[in-house]
Amino acid sequence: MAMIAQTPDILGERQSGQDVRTQNVVACQAVANIVKSSLGPVGLDKMLVDDIGDVTITNDGATILKMLEVEHPAAKVLVELAELQDREVGDGTTSVVIVAAELLKRANDLVRNKIHPTSIISGYRLAMREACKYVDEKLAVKVEKLGKDSLVNCAKTSMSSKLIGTDSDFFANLVVDAVQAIKTTNARGEVKYPIKGINILKAHGKSARDSYLLNGYALNTGRAAQGMPSRVAPARIACLDFNLQKTKMQLGIQVLVSDPRELEKIRQRESDITKERIEKLLKAGANVVLTSKGIDDMALKVTTFADMEGEETFDSSFLGQADEVLEERIADDDVILVKGTKNTSAVSLILRGANDFMLDEMDRSLHDALSIVKRTLESNLVVAGGGAVEAALSVYLENLATTLGSREQLAIAEFAESLLIIPKVLSVNAAKDATDLVAKLRAYHHAAQTKADKQHLSSMGLDLSKGSIRNNLEAGVIEPSMSKVKIIQFATEAAITILRIDDMIKLFKDEQEGED
């Protein structure tokens, strides 16, 4: 029953106990139901129109949830959860929300059956640890066994649910080449793949298959003046963050001039300071200057200067080097390309497509795929996709639950049951018989875990185009194991966070304050 607290000091309403829990679970289910139909290779897209009429068409869980204006505090936890998954792994945002909502729903049923939330929470925690351990020890496969194909397959699996899924062969190779091009080794000798080194440039026109990988960094801007050379090679690049316009006095500085003839000198000096700066750049050997601020017309025309010694210095060691810098026209825009960079490797993916909605969605899809390939390369472990891991964990945890004589047993059994939501939703979205497929899948995994000669069945997953079960490792439907582990960890933590709440106090604004 909802109680309204009207004590003299607190103005607000307070709901406690089962009411709050049910309300939170319903809110989370609502959020999960929005993204549910976008999971899997035949998932559908969502069209979101914001308050000023901007349209976004996407399949990416994190993007959908970010665009929704979620009011309910518990549902906000799920939105943050999707963002966290997006930051940590880059893909799997929809799965993590669906699993978390399912865990919550089942936990709520247990609480209704008089099982204390604390027992459920400790059961969930235990199940989470066991599940992650099982993925690492039994299900994960080293990438070395699978070679470059495995990277392409990971990228294809990530893209399968996206708009570019039909061209996944083409884009997967682009993505793998791009990630391998930015390989760097840090001071500790670890090999890293900084995704930020891949610049994605969207240009409409042509078809999606005309997208290409460019070895160099593309800047979506043209030259500052037409008189400049459109190609410089070899390039020595200065990156600046100050104005190359006439130097102005700082705000708050006043100059009182008594003699009007002095004004001209001040103007002259303002121009000279900029001249000196440019002179220093040229002296250091720069032949390409990139600045984030403005450039004065006067500065554009500057070619040589009288030699003046100022106190500002610019050392040639500050300059970046590249084989060439040139301006090209892509679609309707002028683009400056920096090719063959010396110190850090940078590549650009030039995306082509029919319209902006399509390009934005391609950008999001490629971001997911790039992140997945990066994770695969850095962790070197992959697992079979298509519900294989979830089914295996479900069978394993169910057996584990029966060996425990403690209260956690029921919670672990429910946790096991919750994981099956992924293969179920995958089959439903593919218009296949979910009950039948999930039952077959579980039978395979049960055999894999109980019979010594059937261990190879542990990578059996769904084939959603045929509506059957197949070995997804061999079929090339694979994901980095880290993605699965993080999904389980994050979903459990989010479910626990919401499950712990049993009281909600909503304060009203004090209306008298304004009058005072």
DSSP string, 4-52: ----SS--EEEEETHHHHHHHHHHHHHHHHHHHTT-STTPPPEEEE-TT
Q: Provide the pLDDT for residue 98.
A: 93
pTM: 0.81
Q: What is the average pLDDT across 480-485?
A: 89
**Cα separation, 86 vs 153, whole angstroms:** 20
Domains of the chain by residue range: 1-205+354-516, 231-337
**Cα separation, 217 vs 373, whole angstroms:** 20
Contact (CB, 8 A) for 79 and 34: no
**Cα separation, 164 vs 171, whole angstroms:** 8
Q: Identical fold at 1-205+354-516 and 231-337?
A: no
DSSP 205: B
Q: Provide the pLDDT for residue 311.
A: 46
Q: What is the average pLDDT across 166-185?
A: 83
Window from 6-20, 143-157, 418-432 with minimum mean pLDDT: 6-20
| Cα diameter, the chain | 100
Contact (CB, 8 A) for 320 and 289: no
Cis peptide leading into residue 73 (ω within 30°): no
Average pLDDT of the chain to the nearest whole number: 81
Residue 112 tokens read as 């209704």
Q: Quickly list DSSP for 243-295.
A: -BSPPPPPTT-----SSTHHHHHHHHHHHHHHHHHHHHHHHHT--EEEESS-B
Which pLDDT band holds residue 448 (cuts at 50, 70, 90)?
A: confident
Q: Provide the pLDDT for residue 368.
A: 86
Q: Which residues have a Cβ under 8 Å from the Cβ of 209 and sit 6 or more positions away?
A: 167, 170
- With b meaning 16 or more CB within 10 Å and e meaning fewer, what string describes 443-458? ebbbbbbeeeeeeebb
Give me the CATH code for the 1-205+354-516 domain, please. Answer: 1.10.560.10
Structure confidence by residue, pLDDT tens digits, 222-238: 676 666 776 777 777 77
Higher pLDDT, 105 or 195: 105
Contact (CB, 8 A) for 323 and 235: yes
Residue 225: Cβ-neighbour burial (10 angstroms; 0-12, 13-18, 19+):
exposed
Q: Is the pLDDT of residue 34 over 60?
A: yes
- The SS3 of residue 405 is coil
**Cα separation, 31 vs 390, whole angstroms:** 21
DSSP β-ladder status, 198-204 and 347-353: parallel
Residues of the chain above pLDDT 90, percent: 15
Q: Which residues have a Cβ under 8 Å from the Cβ of 347 and sit 6 or more positions away?
A: 178, 181, 182, 197, 198, 199, 213, 214, 215, 216, 217
Higher pLDDT, 491 or 148: 491
Structure confidence by residue, pLDDT tens digits, 107-124: 999 998 888 989 999 999
Q: Does domain 231-337 have CATH number 3.40.190.10?
A: no
Q: Provide the pLDDT for residue 129.
A: 92
Higher pLDDT, 400 or 267: 400
- The SS3 of residue 204 is strand
Q: Provide the pLDDT for residue 176.
A: 86
Q: Provide the pLDDT for residue 3.
A: 52
Q: Is the pLDDT of residue 461 over 70?
A: yes
In single-letter form, the type of residue at position 66 comes to: K
Higher pLDDT, 275 or 176: 176
Q: Is the pLDDT of residue 442 over 80?
A: yes
Which pLDDT band holds residue 513 (cuts at 50, 70, 90)?
A: low
Q: Is the pLDDT of residue 353 over 50?
A: yes
Q: What is the average pLDDT across 420-437?
A: 90
Q: What is the average pLDDT across 419-444?
A: 90
Q: What is the average pLDDT across 30-41?
A: 88
Structure confidence by residue, pLDDT tens digits, 290-344: 776 666 666 665 644 333 444 455 556 666 666 667 777 776 777 777 776 666 6
Q: Is the pLDDT of residue 490 over 60?
A: yes
Q: Provide the pLDDT for residue 412.
A: 93
